[in-house]
Amino acid sequence: MRELSREDLRSCCASARWVEAVAARGPYRDLAGLGRVSVSALAALTWDDVREALAAHPRIGERPGGAGREAAWSRSEQSGTADAGRDVLGGLREGNAAYERRFGHVYLVCATGRDAGDLLALLRDRLGNDEETEREVVRDELSKIVALRLAKLWEGR
């Protein structure tokens, strides 16, 4: 059985409601059980809770600073943007600004394994979503990111 601290959980998802829900169900026997609780807790989040989680994520194409676990994970997750050219990075900056004006929050995408061109194409595509559709996409992307981070946490990476 493994007990996870609230600080550890917060590095996976910055929603206080999610952290409390997942911490309350511990300790965990395995990653699969932790994942099931996480999915349930994410599904129960209000949109304000999701926005709280989003506030902790850097913009795509911007290298997060800091020495903490979450910043290191973000840098790794966005490694596909590290070698992007100026045109793509400029497109991401412009796209991020347009997205934030349209939806009122950071563009969230599970960037792991994707290059900057893919991330820019997804961003441009998602700008065409209506608000309800985009909220569903954001919840799905958040769920993917949280699952990856929980696995890293569980494995001690």
Q: Which region holds residue 104: left if phi is over 0, alpha if psi is between -120 and 50, else beta?
A: left
Q: How would you write the pLDDT of the chain (157 residues) with one tens digit per residue?
A: 999 999 999 999 999 999 999 999 999 999 999 999 999 999 999 999 999 999 999 898 886 666 677 777 777 777 778 778 889 999 999 999 999 999 999 999 999 999 999 999 999 999 999 999 999 999 999 999 999 999 999 998 6
Q: Where are the domains of the chain?
A: 6-155
- Provide the token pair at 39: 């999915």
Residue 131 · residue 103 · CB < 8 Å: yes
Q: Which amino acid is at 60?
A: I
In the structure encoding, which two tokens stand for residue 99, read together? 């997205």
How much is the pTM? Answer: 0.92
Write the DSSP symbol of residue 93: H
Indicate the fold that domain 6-155 takes in CATH: UraD-like (1.10.3330)
Backbone angles phi, psi at 100, to 5 degrees: -65, -35
